Amino acid sequence: MFNKRVKIKKLLATEATGQEVIVMGWVRTFRNNQFIALNDGSTNNNIQVVIELGQLDDATLKRITTGASLKVTGTLIESLGKGQKVEVKAGTVEILGDCDPEKYPLQLKNRPSLEYLREIAHLRFRTNTFGAVFRVRHSLAHAVHKFFHEKGFVYLHTPIITASDAEGAGEMFRVTTLSMDNPPRNTDGSIDFKEDFFGKSTNLTVSGQLEGELGATALGEIYTFGPTFRAENSNTTRHLAEFWMIEPEMAFSDLEDNMNLAEEFIQYIIRFAMDNNREDLEFLAQRLVEEEKALPQDKRSEFGLIEKLEFVLNNGFERITYTEAIDILLNSPAYKKKKFQYEVKWGIDLQSEHERYLVEKHFKKPVIVTNYPKDIKAFYMRQNDDGKTVAAMDILAPGIGEIVGGSQREERLERLEQRMREMHIPVEEMNWFLDTRRFGSVPHAGFGLGFERIVLFVTGMTNIRDVIPFARTPKNCEF
Ligand code: ATP
Ligand code: MN
């Protein structure tokens, strides 16, 4: 029976020595034929298993190698060595699975690079860095549900396959069962999607928002938390082709309610990780310090990871309008010294360099930018009275850039239809969406937060490929 085992995290916190325990895990190191550092993934801290000299035969000792899996039955005793309070005095040691030290890729004496570990992503969970990252990711995911549940939001499972391409959030992946070699064609040569599985052209979702609005305008407040897909051919450290997005949508809400919710939400999930993953975050903070040693002084973070997170918890986010943001950029020393690669003027979509300037140089904290020009934003955003801007909000975070995109939604049917026509969005195909505005329309608002971007922020990792178990990016779909 396996479930008698005690997880190492729990064992390390136990004071009651003298009891018989069963531990199982993978060998991290084995010293002097006596001391095994055993890890089971519950924490980065290993339990030390002590074997008496002569207790095991030579053949067994040889099989205790890094990566091998063991079942140890023994007595929990106070540790004589430094670094741990308790250790296990081995009674029996059973080898569950051997691990050939000649072949095991994590045998390397030198610390493997993150790039190399991406190539062996199927094994990287076994390293301290990825153990910590994925335990933190888990906590953040749990906190997402906890937060919305406590607020009375309904978790709505919006579809993964959609026929709507109106959102326009990004390039889409097609879903089809048609033959690639010989698809059925219309007389004009175009592909006949009536023959396809759904009888029409379908794609993987880029956002659950439109369906989310349908839920919110009846259930009141909903959120989605699921995978989204964007075939964007941008190989950056912040974009994945498959990522997880959290999208709350609230009836009876305006832009300010939306900003308040987003800020409270981000602080809540960070606090949850700080309270529940302190050890892992401290490990990651140290990792970041080590990583940044290779960088020139002016490229290193000003604060440590923990200080950064504490700062975000203890300070409100800066709130500025897009127009104010443009003014700040135009008056910045960076602009005057021609340091920006992209043009700055009212109407531009803020580029990453502009966002980073605002957040990292000017305000030195997360910034919410509101009221963007309508021409660079989606059709469903509520039109402001100035005729030029919409009630949009993006949240920009230090080191990451945009982590949230949201808006108050256009609830006035005529205004919405007119905007759709201007933007060449087929009004007829969107009747299901427009019904929310026909039958008891209400002011409502919502946002989308890219889950991996917040995991990046909290863990201090710098490449989005390192915070999702198996990254999908252009020309890369391993495992
Ligand atoms: P960006 O400008 O960074 O590409 P976006 O404007 O396309 O973002 P939205 O369509 O508003 O983003 O999506 C909502 C959120 O989803 C973003 O704020 C971001 O956190 C996240 N996000 C968007 N695209 C990606 C992606 N390819 N990989 C990971 N997260 C993403
Ligand atoms: Mn994008």
Q: 89 and 228, same structural domain?
A: no
Query: Does residue 235 lie in a domain region?
Result: yes
Q: 158 and 85, same structural domain?
A: no
Q: 287 and 148, same structural domain?
A: yes
Q: 157 and 65, same structural domain?
A: no
**DSSP E strands, 69-166:** 69-78, 86-97, 154-155, 161-162
pLDDT value for 3: 73
For 210-245, the pLDDT digits (tens) are 999 999 999 999 999 999 999 988 889 999 999 999
Regarding the beta carbon of 395 and ligand 1, being less than 6 Å apart is answered no
Å from CA of 338 to ligand 2 middle: 26
Å from CA of 18 to ligand 2 middle: 58
Which ligand has an atom closest to residue 376 CA? Answer: 1
Which ligand has an atom closest to residue 453 CA? Answer: 1
Q: Is the pLDDT of residue 302 over 90?
A: no
Which ligand has an atom closest to residue 236 CA? Answer: 1
Three-state SS sequence of 310-336: HHHHHCCCEEEEHHHHHHHHHCCHHHH
Query: Does residue 273 lie in a domain region?
Result: yes
Of 230, 229, 207, 208, nearest to 155 by C-alpha is 208
Å from CA of 452 to ligand 1 middle: 10
Regarding the beta carbon of 74 and ligand 1, being less than 6 Å apart is answered no
Considering only CA atoms, which residue is closest to atom 22 of ligand 1? 450
Query: Does residue 193 lie in a domain region?
Result: no
Q: SS3 of 257, please? A: helix
Boundaries of domain holding 47: 2-104
- CATH code, 160: 3.30.930.10
pLDDT bucket at 169, cuts 50 / 70 / 90: low
Q: 263 and 363, same structural domain?
A: yes
Residue with tokens 């605002």: 358
pLDDT value for 166: 62
Residue with tokens 């190399």: 116
Separation of alpha carbons 346 and 389, rounded Å? 11
463 HSE (CA, 13 A, CB side): 16
Q: Which two tokens stand for residue 84?
A: 């741990």
Å from CA of 294 to ligand 1 middle: 30
Cα end-to-end distance, the chain, whole Å:
31
Query: Does residue 195 lie in a domain region?
Result: no
Regarding the beta carbon of 266 and ligand 1, being less than 6 Å apart is answered no
Q: 165 and 74, same structural domain?
A: no
For 130-153, the pLDDT digits (tens) are 999 999 999 999 999 999 999 999
Q: SS3 of 474, please? A: coil
Q: 164 and 51, same structural domain?
A: no
Name the domain count of the chain.
Answer: 2
Å from CA of 221 to ligand 2 middle: 26
Regarding the beta carbon of 126 and ligand 1, being less than 6 Å apart is answered no
Average pLDDT, rounded, for the chain: 95
Q: 374 and 281, same structural domain?
A: yes
Query: Does residue 116 lie in a domain region?
Result: no
Q: Ligand 1 pocket test: pick from 204, 258, 380, 453 the residue with the most ligand atoms within 8 Å of its Cβ.
A: 453
Of 104, 135, 151, which marks where a domain is finished?
A: 104
For 306-358, the pLDDT digits (tens) are 999 999 999 999 999 999 999 999 999 999 999 999 999 999 999 999 999 99
Considering only CA atoms, which residue is closest to atom 6 of ligand 1? 405
Regarding the beta carbon of 453 and ligand 1, being less than 6 Å apart is answered yes
Q: 374 and 233, same structural domain?
A: yes
**DSSP E strands, 123-241:** 154-155, 161-162, 174-175, 202-204, 221-229
CB-based contacts of 227, cutoff 8 Å, min separation 6: 160, 242, 243, 244, 245
CB-based contacts of 351, cutoff 8 Å, min separation 6: 340, 341, 342
CB-based contacts of 466, cutoff 8 Å, min separation 6: 114, 117, 118, 130, 133
Separation of alpha carbons 276 and 38, rounded Å? 22
Q: 144 and 88, same structural domain?
A: no
Query: Does residue 271 lie in a domain region?
Result: yes
Q: What is the DSSP letter of 118?
A: H
**Whole-prediction pTM:** 0.95
Query: Does residue 160 lie in a domain region?
Result: yes
Query: Does residue 67 lie in a domain region?
Result: yes
188 HSE (CA, 13 A, CB side): 2
Helix (H) or strand (E) holding 437: helix 431-438
- Asked if 73 and 22 touch (Cβ cutoff 8 Å), the reply is yes
- CATH code, 61: 2.40.50.140
Q: Report the share of the chain in percent with pLDDT over 90.
A: 90
Regarding the beta carbon of 448 and ligand 1, being less than 6 Å apart is answered yes
Q: Which atom of ligand 1 is nearest to the CA of 241?
A: 27
**DSSP E strands, 130-220:** 154-155, 161-162, 174-175, 202-204
Q: 442 and 376, same structural domain?
A: yes
User: Parallel, antiparallel, or unpaired for β 86-97 and 202-204?
Assistant: unpaired
Q: 63 and 137, same structural domain?
A: no
